[in-house]
Homo-oligomer: A and B are copies of this chain.
Amino acid sequence: MKRIGVLTSGGDAPGMNAAIRAVVRKSLHEGMEVYGINYGFAGLVAGDIRKLSRRDVGDMIQRGGTFLYSARYPQFATEEGQLKAIEQMKRFGIEGLVVIGGDGSYRGAYALTKHGFPCVGLPGTIDNDIPGTDYTIGFDTAINTVLEALDRIRDTATSHVRTFVIEVMGRDAGDIALWTGVASGAEQIIIPEKGFDITQVAENIREGREKGKKHTIIVLAEGVMNGHEFAEKLDAIDNFHVRVSTLGHVQRGGSPTARDRVLASQFGAKAVDLLKQGKGGLCLGIVKEEIIAHDIIDTLDNMKHTPNLDLYTLNEEISN
């Protein structure tokens, strides 16, 4: 291949710019051209496409968000949209596509693959909920952002002897809650992958207070339920005066961590390597410290993400 495209799709994640930069720099290094597609699949269909130079990605590795913009575009589920996209790429002479994003982005890459267009999907989402990879681009940054917030909230919780429920992102996956729960020394972690017994949660708070704990911090994955809902359930059992904090959109932003920048760079370069060899229909992952490529159809059809539940057990043993 001589000319490839790159787009970001779905929710943005820190490190997406680092991935785009790696795609561009590696392509130029290999003598290939790169076109950037704005606003994800929407821009692809609309032809919002431009050539990228090395200068376009200068001073970009450290920035949060995505300079190619992102958008949700449900219409891409239709064959019409997909064919239009392929037509646009032909018009620009683009022979292969790098798609950076989460679940929906992979669905788009899957569809293009079925139409025979060479795509490589890169897992880019803070939620870490993508099959075929131990970590996604943005996850490491997100957990450090959440952790910093938890550290701040602990200052206040300790000063006032309070119980806090902190609702964190993660969609249907508990990864963010798990990692930040362990890292912050949270008393309890509530994730979709594990059930919970609200009576037991209340009992644990009471026990902690009897042991002299100044604060109780409960990290709640958004996939379980809303933080306020959870707090109401707790307060219905005992008069805990639970405080709720929903961390919200701050979790998506920020300058990427070292690990996210490195991972994004590795993924970006690898994607170019594969496309250069004419290989498509793939998605990348880091599995046991190795950057590998999976068949994207097999990945979406047959693989499933599961968080590291050993961390759940670990927290039960050392948090109380």
Contact = CB atoms under 8 A, between A and B. Distances in A.
Interface of A: 8, 12, 14, 16, 21-22, 25-26, 29, 54-55, 58-59, 61-66, 69-71, 134, 140, 143-147, 149, 151-156, 158-161, 164, 179-180, 182-185, 211-214, 243-250, 252-255, 257-259, 261-262, 265-266, 268-269, 288-290, 310-311, 314, 317-320
Contacts of A212: 55
B319 A155 contact: no
A268 to B, nearest CB: 8
13 contacts: A8-B159, A12-B159, A58-B213, A63-B155, A69-B158, A69-B214, A144-B257, A153-B250, A179-B262, A243-B249, A246-B246, A259-B259, A266-B314
A317 B151 contact: no
Count chain B CB atoms within 10 A of each CB in A21, A211, A247 and give the residue with the most. Answer: A247
A155 B254 contact: yes
A17 B265 CA distance: 29
Given A147-B258, A289-B134, A265 B314 contact: yes
B249 A164 contact: yes
B262 A152 contact: no
User: Binding site of A, secondary structure by majority: helix, strand, loop or mixed?
Assistant: helix
A12 B183 CA distance: 19
Question: Which 8 pairs of residues, A with B, have the shortest CB-CB distance?
Answer: A152-B253, A64-B155, A155-B253, A65-B155, A25-B318, A288-B288, A12-B159, A65-B159
Contacts of A184: 61-62, 261
Given A160-B69, A253-B154, A183 B258 contact: yes
A262 to B, nearest CB: 5
Contact of A211 (B54, B265, B320): B54
A28 to B, nearest CB: 9
Contact of A156 (B12, B62, B185, B259): B12
Given A65-B158, A151-B253, A155-B63, A183 B261 contact: yes
Nearest to A248: B245
Nearest to A142: B258
A196 B181 CA distance: 41
Nearest to A24: B318
Contacts of A266: 310-311, 314
B21 A318 contact: yes
